[in-house]
Structure 1
Amino acid sequence: MGSRSRGDGNYTNPCLTMHQPWASLLVYGIKRIEGRSWPSPITGRLWIHAAGKVPDPETIKAMEDFYRQLYELDGVTDLKFPEHYPVSRLIGCVEVVGCLKSEELASWEDVPQGVRLEGLTAFCWLCEKPQKLLIPFEMRGYQGVYNLERRVLEGALRGLSPVEAPLPIKFPLPDPRNPFSLTPGSLVNGLNKGSIKSKTEEDSSPTLKAAIAGARAAATQFSKKTNSSPAVVFQGQGSRTRSGAKEGVQILDNE
């Protein structure tokens, strides 16, 4: 429900369709980074729609294990996950405050270590201020970023509820006066490239390594299952662009 408009820059009430469990993890403030093979075309509010494919228990478990391990690095040991992962619904929104390349995020010491480890994709959309809909709206999603219809937007605005994130994050803007100052390449000059990423790969605990491997495997398997199903209307993770080029998979290369 809405118009496909990715790439034209005309976003008045932008929305992104994601597969579960990634969609709810983002709206509940557990997921702080939305990874894509393309940079974010917006800053500001981004509505989140959950695609129609029901996630299997193995995928949910792998992703919950992944985030449980990330949060333990920052001292959070009582992480509470969503009780349900609704599909074919508009479920809430986040604020996109910037977008970085994965190597920039991995080496950015101004944010918690768990956040840096979420950067497993080419481009990392930085998300703050999650809000969820008390009653999710049933609707159809589209590829890329698209605009919600006004009647959906009006109803959604009335039903939003702030989320108490387990570890609220505030990404520091290089230039507070410029909402687009966190763009791919903007932090390169001030970072020690690769230092944190290599330390993570070499020195992380076996449990964390297993969680990261599990998240990668879950994303890859999910993409394969989704792409093999002709009944799926929206091909979110592992989707293809209108030109037919494969966009990637969630977590490894979110859409």
Structure 2
Amino acid sequence: MKMGSRSRTSSKSNYRNPCLTMHQPWASLLVYGIKRIEGRSWPSPITGRLWIHAAGKVPEEETIKAMEEFYREIYAMNGITDIKFPEHYPVSRLLGCVEVVGCVTCEELASWEAVPSSVRLEGQTPFCWLCEQPQKLIVPFEMRGYQGVYNLERKVYEAAVRGLSSVKALLPVKFQLPDPRDPFSLKPGSIAATTSNWISEEEKSPSLVTAIAGARAAATQFSKKTSSPQPTTTTTEEIDN
């Protein structure tokens, strides 16, 4: 399946079909194209296709509601008010993949006027992985997950790649490379971070401020597990499976 002109192999040779395990509901929101930024405390070690696996922890209803409300509010800033969220948030399943086209800091994303305001508000962590071209598995299948970015087993990859279906994102975003000749030029420090383009607190409605606070609170339940840099090579330490 063609992934488009920006599709490319991972930037580190030790990654073959890299995968990232994420908690729900964030994992499904990313694969469904609603979430476009994957926030981490560490920069992305790869550029290219990244498989997304949902960890084994069943999300609380309050967490799901908080994150769905967050996306309703930020999408409304770009005039989108009808969002079809996933009907289910499966756990311990490989869900699909996205294309990681680069990684910038939170400050760079917040001031990047070339991307929609809703995308800029997604950056709530030190590093923001820029995700495009979501694809989901028609039938997510059970799989163990690990910490950090790790390689899918070959037999898992071969089965998964045959079951992908393209996703029509509500607001597709193309993150422009600073240097079109260099596919890896979109990295921390590549975008001018100026406060003049930031969305000020005064510009945010009370409901948006509340939604952002709710999203931050929902994410803090995992902060102790993810606050330190994660391994950037294959690891055998499982998480929540």
TM-score bracket, normalised by the shorter chain, equals 0.7 to 0.9
Which of residues 10, 17, 24 in structure 1 aligns to 2:14? 10
Q: Which amino acid aligns with 1:204?
A: K
- Which 4+ runs in 1 deviate beyond 4 A? 237-242
Say which of 20, 32, 37 aligns to 1:33: 37
Equivalence for 1:89 = 93
Query: Is residue 223 from structure 1 mapped to residue 222 from structure 2 by the alignment?
Result: yes
Aligned match of 1:252: none
Match of residue 194 from structure 1:
195
Identity of aligned residues (%): 73
Residues in 2 aligned to 1:156 and 1:122: alpha-carbon distance in whole angstroms: 31
Cα separation, 2, equivalents of 1:27 and 1:98: 17
What's the CA shift for 1:114?
Answer: 0.3
Q: Deviations over 1:82-126 (max 9, x none)?
A: 000000000000000000011000000000000000111100000
Aligned pair partner of 2:134 in 130, 133, 151: 130
Q: How many residues align?
A: 221
Cα distance, 1:238 vs structure 2: 5.7
1:44 counterpart letter in structure 2: G
Gap change, CA 1:240 and 1:108, over 3 Å in 2: closer
1:163 aligns with 2:164: no
In the TM superposition, what whole-angstrom CA distance separates every residue of 1:194-243 from its partner, at most 9, and x where no partner exists?
2333x4323210010000001011111x327xx6xxxxxxx5x567847x
The reply to whether residue 119 of structure 1 matches residue 118 of structure 2 is: no
Say if 2:144 is the partner of 1:140: yes
Unmatched 5+ stretches in structure 2: 1-11, 232-241
Would you say the 8 A contact 1:173–1:179 is kept in 2?
yes
* Secondary structure at the counterpart of residue 94 of structure 1: strand
Structure 1: distance between partners of 2:230 and 2:20: 14
Bigger mean CA offset, 43-52 vs 179-188: 179-188
**Counterpart for residue 149 of structure 1:** 153
Whether the 8 Å contact between 2:39 and 2:124 is mirrored in structure 1 is yes
- TM-score, length basis structure 1: 0.82
AA aligned opposite 1:201 = E
The one-letter code of the counterpart of 1:213 is A
Amino acid at match of 1:74: N
The aligned counterpart of 1:173 is 177
* Cα distance in 2 between the residues matched to 1:135 and 1:177: 37
Secondary structure at the counterpart of residue 222 of structure 2: helix
2-structure distance, mates of 1:88, 1:187: 36
Query: What letter corresponds to residue 217 of structure 1 in structure 2?
Result: A
Paired residue for 2:234?
none
Q: TM-score scaled to structure 2, two decimals? A: 0.87
CA distance in 1, matches of 2:230, 2:102: 23
- The CA RMSD measured in Å over matched residues stands at 1.8
Q: Which moved more, 1:9-18 or 1:24-33?
A: 9-18
In the other structure, the counterpart of 2:46 is 42
